[in-house]
């Protein structure tokens, strides 16, 4: 007893001593005090810094080898040594810490689908576009938590995730990194990803800000667009994301917007992001996107990242250049303090400062389960004539093409990670940036065999069409896999490469029971669509994509994905016949005017009266659903909508209610297109069951943005609330009268 008391007393004394020490330290170093607000902590840390320490925070580096080629007058030897000692090799970026003040370094890694470090095997989620097809923010959020967990266990505290550019140009090589063509969907899905990431004590970005919608000439293209249309479309996606998730940083993009580089664009960075939206974090530059010192600093760029790997135009934020700008008065010390404060703020706000990453083991099995669940929520059954799918009780299957014996395709560039298990098909060109072309080791053939143990399943590569046809003829069902590889730094086309269209047509002719599985970065044309009864869009389905495909084909999982993009019926339907600079040498100066304004995707098709191949929101299930009881009410000018969804089929499944508002008179409403998505909700329903939902509609989705007085404006009139299960399948409608409403675009934080 005596001994116990003594130990307890001693422990209490020791704890008290530690607390006193901590109090003393917190008093002299208030940024270490968790009781203080993130603002106070960031401000007090910056107040304690020397000029050189502040300048450390605003420069990010790629790696020691790169830096060794840079003069010591630009990057001091001590910094080079620090980068050599502490940067994670093969990662995107590193910012030295300030040990004297207990400020840790920033370790940055790509991207939205998982941790990309060359040579470090990590778990890949399905592409972000695939996850958007789940129309379920909880799926995105779970993915965000998983990749942040891997990032922490790999030693990182910043994830360069949160891609949210709208799919404005269907051939953009990076569409697979984005979250669809609609601002509400994109904002919610990317917002949930960022929330998931930051909930794990990790700083996330949102990117690429803004209008970086083509990869051809991405570093030189100048985009002309009216502020009204921007605010109602591309910027609205970012605004909703920012509000929902408060990402710690924003990555400004390579391109110019209305004649000004995005990373020194006062309208985008200072006015919209920082003033109107009240963004408190920092703006980091895409790798190689900085063009000046004073203009960049004064117009909103806080951190010059990724030096010197990526075609930099100059070391504009190096101590040498920045001190000169301070000395000449071109940049104020106040602004430098603001930059440093903004950079530190999210590390306090997200809990990353107080809970630093720890390198440790990763539960790859559990993480692959997260990825598989995401894929199973996301694959879109586009067509299923005569209920050919699911393949229950089938005796023989011909699997054809797409390396389906080995794995599933992934996208290239900075989102292209080294997957756990390695590359299933390592020999495809390009092997270098933006390659390598990676196939995740999740073989649809093996997985299908596991799901259909009694069936005879053969495989033909598809390179020899005659051999594929012969196999299809001997089999009850043929499943043809087609692929479209896309990636960063190049744009694609809607047509499939090589002999793939001819292959599908020939197989479909040989066997009328032909299913096509598409692994693509975005939309493709399907000249064979009328010849095949079933099509499954798998996008890039992630580390367990083969399992997800097999389980959906066989009915173990009931498909529930819906398209986050429209599929054009032809190139003639695109808003821009050609991508300016497509196929031309890098850095050719080009220009594009977005005269389609906010009419992107389904809005464009509506405005033009075009019928797409598959509409935004389209997606089938093995059961059926019916929407009912549409209602709309207006209270104090605010619209809220409700409806029910019933499972009218025989199987359990997940259905998606979509609510759009169409302006009675789009011209009078000031809209660029007839209707806008205003709400969506996914429900899991047993046969015969139904569920109801009510959602308040974000008023910006009904409004026009008015630049003259920086306001949102709902024009009084009649509006139709349309309810259904796809942009082109909205059987229910109820009218509302909205009163005139105008309010400031400045957030009340």
CB of 362 to ligand BGC, least distance (A): 21
Q: Which residue among 94, 178, 287, 347 contacts ligand BGC (CB under 6 A)?
A: 287
Q: Which residue among 83, 133, 160, 297 contacts ligand BGC (CB under 6 A)?
A: 160
Nearest to 562 by CA among 357, 729, 411, 347: 729
The answer to whether 483 touches 440, Cβ cutoff 8 Å, is no
Is 136 among the residues that bind ligand BGC (CB under 6 A)?
no
Nearest to 61 by CA among 76, 46, 42: 76
CB atoms within 10 A of CB 155: 20
Size of residue set near ligand BGC by CB under 6 A: 9
Nearest to 133 by CA among 627, 495, 536: 536
d(CA 71, CA 613): 56
Q: Which residue among 92, 133, 380, 590 contacts ligand BGC (CB under 6 A)?
A: 92
CB of 214 to ligand BGC, least distance (A): 13
CB of 600 to ligand BGC, least distance (A): 21
Of the two residues 160 and 206, which places its CB atom closer to ligand BGC in the complex?
Answer: 160
The answer to whether 203 touches 148, Cβ cutoff 8 Å, is no
d(CA 449, CA 553): 12
Nearest to 244 by CA among 319, 305, 188: 188
Site string for ligand BGC, 407-446 (x = CB under 6 A): -------x--------------------------------
Is 110 among the residues that bind ligand BGC (CB under 6 A)?
yes
Q: Which residue among 169, 215, 239, 286 contacts ligand BGC (CB under 6 A)?
A: 286
Of the two residues 43 and 207, which places its CB atom closer to ligand BGC in the complex?
Answer: 207
Within residues 339-378, the interface with ligand BGC by CB under 6 A covers none
d(CA 134, CA 178): 13
CB atoms within 10 A of CB 249: 27
The answer to whether 732 touches 725, Cβ cutoff 8 Å, is no
Q: Give the DSSP per-residue string, 443-508.
A: -HHHHHHHH-TTSEEEEE-SSSHHHHHHHHHTSSEEEEEEEE--BTT----SSPSTTHHHHHHHHH
Of the two residues 164 and 661, which places its CB atom closer to ligand BGC in the complex?
Answer: 164
CB of 562 to ligand BGC, least distance (A): 27
Q: Which helix (H) or strand (E) holds 363?
A: none
CB of 111 to ligand BGC, least distance (A): 6
Of the two residues 82 and 110, which places its CB atom closer to ligand BGC in the complex?
Answer: 110
Is 491 among the residues that bind ligand BGC (CB under 6 A)?
no
Q: In the 3-class helix/strand/coil scheme, how is 370-423 assigned residue by residue?
A: HHHHHHHHHCEEEEEHHHCCCCCCCCEEEEECCCCCCCEECCECCCCCCECCCE
Of the two residues 401 and 413, which places its CB atom closer to ligand BGC in the complex?
Answer: 413
Q: Active-site residue 338, yes or no?
A: no
Give the burial string for 498-524 (b: 16+ CB within 10 Å, else e): eebbebbbbbbebbebbbbbbbbbbbb
CB of 160 to ligand BGC, least distance (A): 4
CB of 267 to ligand BGC, least distance (A): 21
CB of 479 to ligand BGC, least distance (A): 34
What secondary structure letter does DSSP report for 740?
P
d(CA 723, CA 736): 13
CB of 364 to ligand BGC, least distance (A): 23
The answer to whether 406 touches 437, Cβ cutoff 8 Å, is no
Q: Is 633 helix (H, G, I), strand (E, B) or coil?
A: strand
Of the two residues 432 and 748, which places its CB atom closer to ligand BGC in the complex?
Answer: 432
Q: Give the DSSP per-residue string, 672-696.
A: SSSEEEEEEEEEEE-TT-EEEEEEE
Site string for ligand BGC, 187-226 (x = CB under 6 A): --------------------x-------------------
Q: Give the DSSP per-residue string, 164-197.
A: -----STT-TTGGGS--S-HHHHHHHHHHHHHHH
Catalytic entry in 213, 242, 286, 606: 286
| Tokens 């809607």, located at residue | 494
Nearest to 675 by CA among 612, 582, 600: 600
Of the two residues 172 and 554, which places its CB atom closer to ligand BGC in the complex?
Answer: 172
CB of 107 to ligand BGC, least distance (A): 13
Task: Report strand pairing: 704-706 vs 653-663.
Answer: unpaired
Binding site for ligand BGC (CB under 6 A): 92, 110-111, 160, 207, 286-287, 306, 414
Q: Which residues are catalytic?
A: 286
């Amino acid at each position: 007893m005596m001994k116990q008391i003594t130990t307890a007393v001693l422990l209490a004394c020791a704890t008290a001593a530690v607390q006193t020490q901590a109090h003393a330290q917190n008093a002299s170093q208030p940024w270490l005090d968790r009781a203080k607000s993130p603002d106070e902590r960031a401000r007090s840390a910056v107040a304690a810094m020397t000029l050189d320490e502040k300048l450390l925070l605003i420069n990010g580096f790629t790696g020691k080898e790169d830096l060794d080629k840079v003069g010591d007058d630009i990057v001091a030897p001590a910094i080079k040594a620090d980068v050599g000692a502490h940067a994670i090799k093969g990662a995107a970026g590193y910012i030295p810490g300030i040990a004297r003040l207990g400020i840790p370094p920033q370790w940055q890694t790509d991207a939205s689908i998982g941790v990309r470090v060359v040579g470090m095997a990590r778990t890949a989620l399905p592409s972000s576009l695939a996850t958007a097809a789940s129309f379920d923010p909880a799926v995105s959020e779970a993915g965000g938590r998983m990749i942040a967990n891997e990032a922490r266990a790999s030693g990182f505290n910043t994830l360069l995730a949160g891609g949210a550019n709208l799919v404005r140009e269907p051939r953009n090589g990076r569409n697979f990194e984005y979250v669809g063509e609609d601002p509400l969907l994109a904002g919610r899905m990317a917002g949930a990803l960022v929330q998931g990431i930051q909930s794990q004590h990790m700083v996330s970005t949102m990117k690429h800000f803004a209008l970086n919608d083509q990869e051809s000439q991405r570093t030189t293209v100048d985009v002309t667009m009216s502020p009204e249309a921007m605010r109602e479309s591309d910027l609205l996606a970012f605004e909703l994301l920012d509000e929902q998730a408060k990402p710690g940083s924003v990555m400004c993009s390579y391109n110019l917007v209305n004649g000004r580089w995005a990373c020194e664009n006062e309208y985008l960075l200072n006015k919209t992001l920082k003033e109107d939206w009240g963004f408190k974090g920092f703006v980091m530059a895409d790798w190689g996107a900085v063009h000046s010192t004073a203009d960049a600093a004064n117009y909103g760029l806080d951190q010059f990242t990724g030096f010197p790997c990526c075609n930099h135009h100059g070391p504009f934020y190096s101590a040498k250049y920045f001190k000169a700008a301070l000395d000449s008065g071109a940049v104020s010390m106040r602004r430098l303090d603001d930059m440093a404060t903004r950079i530190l703020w999210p590390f306090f706000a997200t809990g990353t400062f107080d809970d630093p990453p720890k390198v440790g083991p990763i539960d790859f099995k559990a993480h692959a389960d997260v990825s598989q669940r995401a894929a199973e929520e996301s694959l879109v059954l586009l067509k299923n004539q005569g209920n050919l799918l699911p393949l229950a009780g089938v005796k023989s299957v011909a699997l054809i093409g797409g390396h389906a014996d080995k794995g599933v395709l992934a996208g290239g560039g900075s989102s292209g990670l080294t997957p756990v298990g390695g590359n299933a098909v390592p020999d495809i060109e390009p092997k270098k940036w933006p390659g390598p072309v990676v196939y995740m080791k999740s073989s649809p053939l093996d997985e299908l065999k596991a799901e259909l143990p009694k069936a005879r399943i053969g495989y033909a590569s598809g390179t020899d069409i005659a051999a594929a046809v012969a196999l299809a003829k001997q089999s009850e069902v043929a499943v043809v896999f087609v692929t479209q590889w896309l990636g960063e730094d190049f744009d694609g086309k809607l047509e499939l490469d090589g002999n793939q269209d001819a292959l599908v047509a020939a197989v479909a002719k040989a066997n009328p029971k032909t299913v096509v599985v598409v692994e693509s970065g975005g939309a493709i044309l399907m000249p064979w669509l009328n010849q095949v009864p079933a099509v499954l869009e798998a996008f890039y389905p992630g580390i367990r994509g083969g399992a997800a495909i097999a389980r959906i084909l066989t009915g173990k999982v009931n498909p529930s994905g819906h398209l986050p993009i429209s599929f054009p019926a032809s190139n003639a339907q695109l808003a821009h016949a050609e991508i300016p600079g497509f196929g031309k040498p890098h850095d050719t100066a080009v220009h594009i005017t977005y005269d389609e304004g906010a009419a992107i995707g389904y809005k464009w098709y509506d405005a033009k009266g075009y019928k797409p191949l598959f509409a935004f929101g389209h997606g089938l299930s093995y059961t059926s659903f019916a929407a009912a009881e549409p209602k709309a009410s207006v209270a104090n000018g605010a619209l809220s909508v409700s409806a029910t969804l019933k499972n009218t089929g025989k199987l359990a499944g997940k259905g998606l209610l979509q609510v759009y508002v169409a302006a009675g008179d789009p011209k009078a409403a000031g809209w660029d297109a007839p209707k806008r998505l205003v709400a969506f909700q996914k429900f899991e329903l047993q046969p015969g069951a139904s569920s109801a939902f009510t959602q308040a509609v974000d008023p910006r989705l009904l409004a026009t943005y008015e630049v003259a007085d920086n306001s949102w404006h709902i024009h009084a009139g009649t509006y139709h609330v349309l309810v259904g299960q796809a942009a082109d399948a909205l059987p229910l409608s109820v009218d509302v009268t909205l009163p005139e409403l105008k309010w400031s675009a400045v957030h009340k934080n």
